[in-house]
Copies of this chain bind each other. A is one copy, B any other.
Amino acid sequence: MSIDSVHMNVMLKTEAIARLVDVFRQYGYDGTSMAKIAEATGLGKSSLYHHFPGGKEEMATAVLDYLSQCLNTGLLAPLQQSGEPLDRLRAMNRNIDQYYNHGQKACLLAMLAMGESSDRFRTQVSHILNSWIEAIAEVLIEADFEPELARQRAEDAIIQIQGAIILTQGLSTTAPFKRILNHLPETLLQPVIPSGLL
């Protein structure tokens, strides 16, 4: 096998995986049939089983791996650059808004975290969520928050993003998602209110 063919394979396979992301997150694991997979990738069954001997489950696993990589390069990288914490959080938000199409696109993590198939992908889902949370928490720690509070607020960020997606889909309005995303950076960096003020 030459270097070129290796590159070709990787290219084509990752492109197929990239197309599968949208299929799985639109229909869920059970709702995604081999017919839909074949149509989305333009590949026949035999080709699919050639690239993914493990079948449907391996495809979903590959999709999660791909998503984890996208998370690192697209979402977390901006967080780890230099600059004001507020600016870095806003950069992440722009990517989130684009990726989820203002909350109209379902979240694959949520689809696989809930439901029958949850056990199979629990490890991967948990890993991706933790990476995301920790990346946000580190920014908050840099902004002089206590590590414990930083972790809590980072979790809150994910909670609000995921919840906003559900509400956006359930109410067929992008308003909640946009509002949450707009407030998120300032909310995360909001100073702790001394209890004496209340």
Knowing A106-B115, A115-B106 are in contact, say whether A129-B172 is a contact too (CB < 8 A): no
Knowing A193-B193, A197-B197, A198-B191 are in contact, say whether A169-B114 is a contact too (CB < 8 A): yes
Knowing A28-B116, A111-B115 are in contact, say whether A152-B179 is a contact too (CB < 8 A): yes
User: Number of contacting residues on A, CB 8 A?
Assistant: 46
Q: A155, B176: Cβ atoms under 8 Å? A: yes
Q: Does A47 contact B (CB under 8 A)?
A: no
When chains A and B are docked, how far (Å) is the Cα of A193 from the Cα of B194? 12
CB proximity of A181 to chain B, nearest CB, Å: 11
Q: Does A174 contact B (CB under 8 A)?
A: no
Knowing A160-B160, A161-B163 are in contact, say whether A171-B129 is a contact too (CB < 8 A): yes
Knowing A28-B30, A129-B170 are in contact, say whether A114-B110 is a contact too (CB < 8 A): yes
- A residues 152-198 in Cβ contact with B at 8 Å: 152, 155-156, 158-167, 169-172, 176, 179-180, 191, 193, 197-198
Pick from A30, A125, A170 the residue with the most CB of B within 10 Å: A170
- A residues 16-37 in Cβ contact with B at 8 Å: 26-31
Copies in the complex: 2
Chain B residues with Cβ below 8 Å from A116 are 26-28, 31
When chains A and B are docked, how far (Å) is the Cα of A161 from the Cα of B160? 9
Q: Does A126 contact B (CB under 8 A)?
A: yes
Q: A114, B30: Cβ atoms under 8 Å? A: no
Q: Does A14 contact B (CB under 8 A)?
A: no
When chains A and B are docked, how far (Å) is the Cα of A70 from the Cα of B166? 20
When chains A and B are docked, how far (Å) is the Cα of A152 from the Cα of B62? 38
When chains A and B are docked, how far (Å) is the Cα of A106 from the Cα of B118? 11
CB proximity of A91 to chain B, nearest CB, Å: 22
Q: Which 5 A-B pairs have the closest CB atoms?
A: A163-B163, A159-B163, A113-B170, A30-B30, A31-B116
